[in-house]
């Protein structure tokens, strides 16, 4: 529905940059999720215990807003967990052992980098660059170079089809067609765009992600850094599905990089495991 609604209907995104942008709509969304999970009679007895993932860079005010929204939606008890910690648990990393692990979670609103050891965050960095910023970068590039205005949904489709952190070495470049509105003439138009153009459009976002990874590594103790050399960097989140992104980070850091087995759902799976398994209870935070 994004970009296609009439004047009397407004499509709202309650979350922006990993935090709540519209608290009333966020409450309704969470209430809907709780109702789907516990059924219509769940609230009559007692609300569920809920774990919410938050960016490591979020402020106490933002964390309280998230907690209040979940409480008002019907939760009995609300726990918060840093996204990199949840991602590491979901990726089956040894977070409770005295072994350093590094996870890079590229979500829709933020990129979260965490160095984890003995059940705690040894170092963490957060940058408000993710899938949404990549879509914006593609839209801006298409408008600047082709005078074509495209919507969020089109930019996201092109990112999934052609998106790449760097141009493939074999020289094989795929193309895709994009439909939008011509800026100068004001009429619909279709163009063809190459994978190299999309890689160029995403270069700034990739640079920001590499920078936040470097910052986290600079703040890592030598012993933990030695463990990261052994275990490498693990990538999670929808952004980890971007073509060549593991090779790009390996080139930037000189470390082995691998993508988690189920990157899109690692954070959700890890958050669920904190409630199911007593070993992980210590990583939960109350606000």
Q: Under a CB-based contact definition with an 8 Å cutoff, are residues 113 and 213 in contact? A: yes
Q: What is the DSSP string of 21-57?
A: S-HHHHHHHHHHHHHHHH-TTHHHH-PPEEEEEE-TT
Assigned domain for 44 exists: no
Assigned domain for 62 exists: no
Alpha-carbon span 177 to 256, nearest angstrom: 35
Pull the structure tokens for residue 33: 């999720």
Assigned domain for 24 exists: no
Task: State the DSSP code for 187.
Answer: S
Residue 120 shares a structural domain with residue 236: yes
Alpha-carbon span 178 to 175, nearest angstrom: 10
Residue 137 shares a structural domain with residue 256: no
The CATH number for 122's domain is 3.30.420.40
What pLDDT shows up at residue 13?
Answer: 84
Assigned domain for 269 exists: no
Residue 98 shares a structural domain with residue 212: yes
Q: Under a CB-based contact definition with an 8 Å cutoff, are residues 53 and 82 in contact? A: yes
Alpha-carbon span 99 to 119, nearest angstrom: 10
Residue 169 shares a structural domain with residue 116: no
Domain count, the chain: 2
Assigned domain for 118 exists: yes
Residue 125 shares a structural domain with residue 232: yes
The CATH number for 161's domain is 3.90.640.10
Residue 119 shares a structural domain with residue 140: no
Residue 136 shares a structural domain with residue 247: no
Residue numbers of the chain with a pLDDT score lower than 70: 40-45, 168-172, 286-287
Final residue before a domain boundary, out of 155, 174, 198: 198
Assigned domain for 184 exists: yes
Q: Under a CB-based contact definition with an 8 Å cutoff, are residues 128 and 110 in contact? A: yes
Residue 158 shares a structural domain with residue 114: no
What pLDDT shows up at residue 193?
Answer: 92
Alpha-carbon span 34 to 47, nearest angstrom: 9
Strand order across the 148-149 sheet: 148-149, 175-182, 188-194
Q: Under a CB-based contact definition with an 8 Å cutoff, are residues 84 and 114 in contact? A: yes
**Nearest to 228, CA basis, from 102, 90, 88:** 102
Match 């999720």 to its residue by tokens: 33
Residue 139 shares a structural domain with residue 250: no
Residue 136 shares a structural domain with residue 260: no
Q: Which domain holds residue 252?
A: 91-129+203-264
**Nearest to 112, CA basis, from 92, 131, 99:** 131
Integer angstrom CA distances of residue 266 from 48, 234, 273: 22, 11, 10
Residue 112 shares a structural domain with residue 209: yes
pLDDT, tens digit, 9 for 90 and up, residues 206-260: 999 999 999 999 989 899 999 999 889 999 999 999 999 999 999 999 999 999 9
Residue 253 shares a structural domain with residue 142: no
Assigned domain for 167 exists: yes
Q: Under a CB-based contact definition with an 8 Å cutoff, are residues 199 and 213 in contact? A: no
Pull the structure tokens for residue 181: 């509105």
Q: Is the dihedral of CA 269, 272, 277, 278 positive or negative?
A: positive
Final residue before a domain boundary, out of 164, 198, 232: 198
């Amino acid at each position: 529905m994004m970009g296609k609604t009439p004047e009397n209907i407004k499509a709202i995104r309650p979350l922006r940059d990993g935090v709540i942008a519209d608290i009333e709509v966020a409450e309704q969304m969470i209430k809907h999720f709780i109702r789907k999970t516990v059924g219509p009679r769940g609230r009559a007895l007692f609300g569920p215990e809920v774990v919410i993932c938050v960016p490591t860079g979020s402020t106490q005010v933002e964390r309280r807003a998230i907690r209040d929204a979940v409480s008002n939606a019907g939760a009995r008890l609300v726990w918060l967990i840093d996204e990199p910690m949840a991602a590491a648990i979901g990726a089956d990393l040894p977070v409770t052992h005295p072994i350093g692990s590094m996870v890079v979670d590229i979500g829709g609103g933020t990129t979260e980098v965490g160095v984890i050891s003995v059940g705690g965050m040894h170092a963490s960095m957060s940058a408000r660059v993710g899938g949404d910023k990549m879509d914006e970068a593609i839209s801006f590039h298409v408008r600047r170079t082709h005078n074509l205005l495209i919507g969020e949904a089109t930019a996201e489709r092109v990112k999934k089809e052609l998106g790449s952190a760097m141009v493939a070495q074999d020289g094989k470049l795929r193309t895709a067609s994009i439909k939008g509105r011509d800026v100068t003439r004001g009429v619909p138009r279709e163009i063809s765009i190459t994978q190299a153009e999309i890689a160029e459009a995403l270069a700034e976002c990739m640079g920001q992600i590499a920078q936040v990874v470097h910052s986290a590594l600079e703040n890592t103790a030598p012993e933990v850094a030695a463990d990261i050399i052994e275990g490498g960097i693990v990538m999670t989140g929808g952004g980890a599905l971007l073509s060549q992104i593991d090779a790009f980070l390996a080139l930037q850091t000189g470390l082995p990089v691998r993508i988690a087995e189920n990157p899109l759902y690692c954070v959700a799976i890890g958050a669920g495991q904190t409630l199911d398994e007593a070993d992980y209870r210590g990583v939960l935070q109350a606000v």
